[in-house]
Amino acid sequence: MRIAIVILNWNGEVLLERYLPSVVRYSEGADIYVADNASTDDSIDFLRTNYPEIKLIQNTVNGGFAKGYNDALINVDADIFCLLNNDVEVTPNWLAPIKTAFETIPHASIIQPKILDLMRKDHFEYAGAAGGFIDQLGYPFCRGRIFQELEKDTGQYDDIMEIFWATGACMFIKSDVFKKLGGFDEEYFAHQEEVDLCWRAKNAGYGVYYVGTSKVYHLGGSTLSNMNPKKTYLNFRNSLFSITKNLPRRKAFLIIFLRLLLDGIAAIRFVFQLKFNHCLAILKAHVSFYSNFRSMNRKREKLNFINNYYITKSIVWSHFVNGVRKFNILVKD
């Protein structure tokens, strides 16, 4: 089983200098690539000087996460692609449990490890935590992370289980599955494109898994922090894109209607918090969604749609009304 670790980089020289050594040290047997998204800093010179053994792919434009990986992976020959953020520190023996899972679970086509916070190593990290899920309305959340509530890692998720989506911060995917799915949707640019990819994989009959016996540490927010209105814009818009593409038409239209109402409430909440740029970002997200609706509707899956895509009706209600802060409490409800 040939694994290619592909690190997407854009102006991340400082991050490569800090986190690439752990990848080189602990990834014996895997090929390591850096796919550079037309950086304007000294990333390329740094790699050529300090890591001549690493394979370098130079994309001609910064097409974001989605196009960046689509363009890069055309040039990678491997059985398994590992898509790894440039702000991730890996750990000894992190690849072995992933290999074993692919070899022993025939249904597994996409896998993510345990994602811990680099700044608080005993806590889960926002982007992925212990595996991703969505509610009936398409809101994403994770085991170990519900909205901004991050659980402490006490071994409660040291398991292997099927999940709904795997984080793009560290995602392993069979190369043939990635190609059959057509890669990431480039209209997303960045954020939640991995949710869409995994949803399409689920609709096509592929399995997405979490392997808690492998762990990495993620800095997070190195491209766009949670305080950046552009991230708000992309998250709100792209979530609507995924609902449009991956649910039966009648169900999708109903959920989109409800989501638009809830998005309006979120925008009003931002106003009361004096976060006017985030309110404007939601409005812009809706305008972009309307503009791209026909395009997304044409991409609607032709295969059967899965019915059991969610594990709770509303994570918003569970968290903000019922006060649920941990995944295991949510499941009990």
CB 89, CB 114: distance < 8 Å: no
CB 88, CB 191: distance < 8 Å: no
> What does each C-alpha distance from 98 to 30, 174, 215, 227, 241 come to in angstroms?
12, 12, 10, 33, 30
pLDDT grade for 301, boundaries at 50, 70 and 90: confident
Query: What are the residue ranges of helices labelled H in the chain?
Result: 13-26, 43-50, 64-73, 96-104, 175-180, 193-203, 229-246, 249-272, 276-298, 315-316, 327-332
The overall average pLDDT reported for the chain is 94
| pTM (two decimals) | 0.94
Q: Is 96 helix (H, G, I), strand (E, B) or coil?
A: helix
Question: Can you tell me the mean pLDDT for 119-137?
Answer: 96
**pLDDT tens sequence across 248-293:** 999 999 999 999 999 999 999 999 999 999 999 999 999 999 999 9
Q: Determine the residue type at 50.
A: N
**pLDDT tens sequence across 72-95:** 999 999 999 999 999 999 999 999
Structural domains for the chain = 3-218 (3.90.550.10), 229-302 (no CATH)
Q: For residue 242, is pLDDT > 90?
A: yes
